[in-house]
Structure 1
């Protein structure tokens, strides 16, 4: 059978097939990209700080599903002038030094990155109005130790209740603390102590709604403009005022614009001091810890970790584990009972669902 067309018909000539463009492994170098820090994320738009300019950007397609979160150090191309209507592109996310994670629930396998490159987790809790919730404090400390962040307790509203009772619960863990309250003129007493603790850090403020996080942020960063709310007199719970995490540079915090970089990484001895940052997060009512493993948690306590070297394989170091090295150290009198009890309370907090 002859073909429909002869070799003299134009229809006979073979049409180009799809995907005939030669593939290449070469990728753009982005030599003109500039450094930036992600300060807010809102529905696919990223607000960056590039030098002293505020720039709006989107994520470049080659990044795929790679998440970009508050605190990320990124490389940016495009319009980085920060002018109204301008839009840049995030083309690279630098390696993170730390990652603060949480899950929605303890049986939720999906981890959610809260903040990247933080160095300190400030657990803010009110001593009254609303009532403190030690179980959530425990969980926040577990997340801090697991992420390698320095923990700090910030107790607010000390004019309503003595802080000593709550502080005694965490004294054996060696967690530093600051206490604040308002005086008769409604000024925040203890703010200078808190400011000293935050200096040189990228600090994430975490706590229930109504405990005073946004109030502290507004006092530390006068132009922050974070909305504050009141506590419901019936439920005793605060109303959500912060709806998204935002990262703010503290006034007078130093000249280095990098986030999460050590002094050596910023230029070694004699380099400018790291800038101080505050990350205000929305109020939380749960903090899932499905991602935290017991062997990672105990590494945050080197003195106790040494006592578990001979533990059976798979030992979680809980108080019901047979032949746990912590129990042997307690029996021998070489372990501090209060410190072991505090560690095991944090360990148990991984599975407590009520706050």
Structure 2
């Protein structure tokens, strides 16, 4: 084969066997994208709730999607509102593509421990963190509750402390500990005769374990529902505290697996393996949810720890407006802990009127307990 003349058409800016065109950083606008709410994440596939062209709730459909290549390093989590293109019909075998994540109103984060620099996003766009804690079996751990409260305040979320198994122990001590923080407290108890719900086979197969899945008293469930209405609430708690049992009572068709607590270790088994968002029925009658919904409940896997390496102390102080204002008079570098010299918060207690002093002291004590959870110091 003889040589041929070479001209400018033979030039390749990025030579390759296929002669691919140069890459560009310009991305399509995706003006035809629709908005979806991420309700579940499972091994790179995202379950979305996408509304139709009108506001009719019956036109909502479940869509499965994957992330676009440009979002490879961006984490999409339950609660995110995303822009989606492609096949958004929701038909069997269809697959859409997430091309944008809309701005988040809140982001609940945690780290593995207080020194881990890697932040794990738990959920996005939640209004309220519900800390589910058993009063017994397993025993409550105030350190875990404190850390959840700190993380919620840092995320700009309100906190609801849900105390379960009140038929086994009194909630009074924990109420007194957290209500001065402005944390609402709600209590649930298991229905009388709930032990009958555990079959003999279950007892034989789980020797040394006690059920976490007994039926709850309906009135206590409705008290929780009243505090979740109109909000996006994320439930967090140790394994075995009754979180999945509570969710199944709030959303009867949720089908969340319930676990058991080991008598020896006092710990429960992980039953929720991934976060999932569930619509909250307005009411439940005869075990069936109503056709209308008012709010969202996000179930999360049980956690062993809640690291706070990502939380700045200044953000925690700002959650206590009265204390934050007083702390402006503190010397530079003040830690605000009990052993901090010349802390203005101590002077605030000393100068308080007699009638206000107990309330102020309780609030400062609560703040310092949370602060010590963040800093790892003794309050």
Bin for the TM-score computed over the shorter chain: 0.7 to 0.9
In the alignment, what sits opposite 2:313? 294
Are 1:202 and 2:221 an aligned pair?
Answer: no
1:24 to partner: Cα distance = 5.9
Q: Look up the SS of the partner of 2:366 in the other structure.
A: helix
What pairs up with 1:92-111 in 2 under 5 angstroms?
92-111=100-119
Selected match of 2:373 from 334, 338, 349: 349
Q: Look up the SS of the partner of 2:327 in the other structure.
A: coil
In the alignment, what sits opposite 2:255? 225
Are 1:116 and 2:124 an aligned pair?
Answer: yes
Q: What's the TM-score, normalizing by structure 2?
A: 0.82
Distance across 2 between alignment mates of 1:60 and 1:293: 33
Distance across 2 between alignment mates of 1:274 and 1:94: 24
Distance across 2 between alignment mates of 1:21 and 1:81: 33
Distance across 2 between alignment mates of 1:223 and 1:23: 48
1:323 to partner: Cα distance = 2.1
Are 1:37 and 2:37 an aligned pair?
Answer: yes
What pairs up with 1:143-182 in 2 under 5 angstroms?
143-182=151-190
Distance across 2 between alignment mates of 1:284 and 1:62: 31
Distance across 1 between alignment mates of 2:249 and 2:193: 14
Q: State the number of aligned residues.
A: 328
Deviations 1:186-205 (A, max 9, x none): 44231111000000111010
1:11 to partner: Cα distance = 5.1
Are 1:248 and 2:278 an aligned pair?
Answer: yes
Distance across 2 between alignment mates of 1:320 and 1:245: 41
Q: Is the 8 A contact 2:280 2:293 kept in 1?
A: no
Name the CA shift for 1:313/1:343 in 2 (closer, same or farther; >3 Å): same
Name the CA shift for 1:18/1:274 in 2 (closer, same or farther; >3 Å): farther
Selected match of 2:300 from 255, 259, 281: 281
Q: Look up the SS of the partner of 1:194 in the other structure.
A: helix
Q: What's the TM-score, normalizing by structure 1?
A: 0.87
Distance across 1 between alignment mates of 2:179 and 2:6: 86
Q: Is the 8 A contact 1:201 1:274 kept in 2?
A: no
Deviations 1:47-74 (A, max 9, x none): 1111221111110112241211110000
Deviates more, 1:44-53 or 1:226-235: 44-53
What RMSD over aligned residues (CA atoms) do the two structures have, in Å? 2.1
Q: Look up the SS of the partner of 1:10 in the other structure.
A: coil
Distance across 1 between alignment mates of 2:323 and 2:351: 14
Distance across 1 between alignment mates of 2:22 and 2:67: 26
Are 1:213 and 2:223 an aligned pair?
Answer: no
Q: Look up the SS of the partner of 1:348 in the other structure.
A: helix
- Unaligned 5+ runs, structure 1: 1-7, 254-272
More helix by share: 2
- Unaligned 5+ runs, structure 2: 15-19, 52-59, 195-214, 284-291
1:317 to partner: Cα distance = 1.4
Distance across 2 between alignment mates of 1:289 and 1:305: 20
In the alignment, what sits opposite 1:68? 76
Selected match of 1:188 from 210, 216, 224: 216
1:13 to partner: Cα distance = 3.8
